[in-house]
Structure 1
Amino acid sequence: MTVQEGVLRYGDSPWQRIDLYTPVRGPVRGAVVIFHGGFWRHDRIARDLEPLAVALVQRGCATAAVEYRPAWDGGQWPAAAEDAALALERLDGAGAPWRGATLVGHSAGAHLALSAVAGRGAGRRAVLLAPVVDLAQTLATGTGGPAVGHFLAGHLAAGGTADEATPRPSRADLASLTVVEAACDQAVPSELTEYQLKEWRDGGLAVDHHTVPGARHMHLVNPERDGCAAVLALLAGDPAAAEGSAS
């Protein structure tokens, strides 16, 4: 299937950009909006998701990859989270197929995906891949090294807390929440994932949890790796085809 590429801008910064990938022909069977990881400092960028976006388009899913300001260039909390919300508003305003698209967050991108919907009552579907969301627990586990401290530097200096910067969506915000864990994740420890799963369930959210055997952190967004097959199945609307364990 031929892929058409485009760009939407949602702000004045060169970072405030959304890369669009849509099928040239054939039905659009769904749409996804992806927030990349990189611990808010852009170890990864939106363009790194192009192979995943193309793989999704080949399965009939229009895909938007959101770029946002990094912590070192205007994106310290809450700016990057505000970017995520603005980008989502821009896409919703663009109409079909983007309005109501499934939200996907990989690693720290999961924090931004949930920040974009928490408190808005939009009832979005969210799929979190190796999520880093609870910033207090992220600090406690040392996940990402100094990344959380850099991201929250101004907020913490002003007397704020990591807990205040953690999005807490309600059942009204999320129609569904799916978490995909890489069994051999070298970047996000299983204790952080388990803590977050308990936190969301204790908060009244129903969470589907899948573990992909043998997968490492970046395998979940790399269609050349076997571990991405489960992600593609979930996002293309075939949860039964997702491999691994569910709880």
Structure 2
Amino acid sequence: MLQRFSVALVLCCIFIQLLVIHPTESRPKKQKQAGRNQSLFNHYVFALTTKGGFCNTSRKCNRQSFRAAQWTIHGLWPSNSTSSGSVTSCAAREKFSVEKLSPIQERLNDDWPSFLGNNSKFWHHQWSKHGSCSVNHTLIKTVADYFNTTLDIYRKHNVSNFLINDNIVPRLEPYKTKDFFEAIRNDLDNKNVNVICRRAANISVVVEVRICLNETQLNVVDCPRKHSSCRKDLYYLPPLSPGGEPPAPADTAKVVATEN
């Protein structure tokens, strides 16, 4: 009898521990909010990816992306500085269709490529997750508006040129992170930007720059938080060669990459 009681007590303790360790498994998952719109965001984040950094820190990279510019579009994301960040997956009336983008598809292939998969699937993902929350913006009413507007912003804010103006070009030697920051800010009226690095072995490789824009006129504004995931020094790497060999330093390690 005492033995059975002891076993029951142990099982009860294990059950309680599981509830504590995995509390979310005992609760119903929150449903996505429908009908969210621009009233829930107060700025945009314009995200740009450098193919040298992305491809050198990824397990794979599309060969078709080798012809892309050094910096390409990741996305235009409605965001809120007073909450958790990006406002995502809103209930948009218009569904994505790549046919709606046929007049600008060549530009999208050049300026907004996927480094991991199919371009149209990447655009669909960006629309569903981010563009759907922009549809009531002054300049954005449709799928085509979202992509056209983002392309216009891309042409206006050429990060490659910002860096070249301060003699910062892709290379195998590191730059001071503060110099990289300042080179971009110098062409953006000293507004705060975000620089995203990936750790590769014991070095920081820059993969993304994020510029913040106001929600009305899409003018550059300070990002709510000056953010960098980079160390004191960062690498701004050239792209992979057509043969797929990374030119990164010998101790650069590969990491799994995703396109959010």
What's the TM-score, normalizing by structure 2? 0.26
Give the number of the structure with larger relative contact order, counting CA–CA contacts within 8 Å between residues 6 or more apart: 2
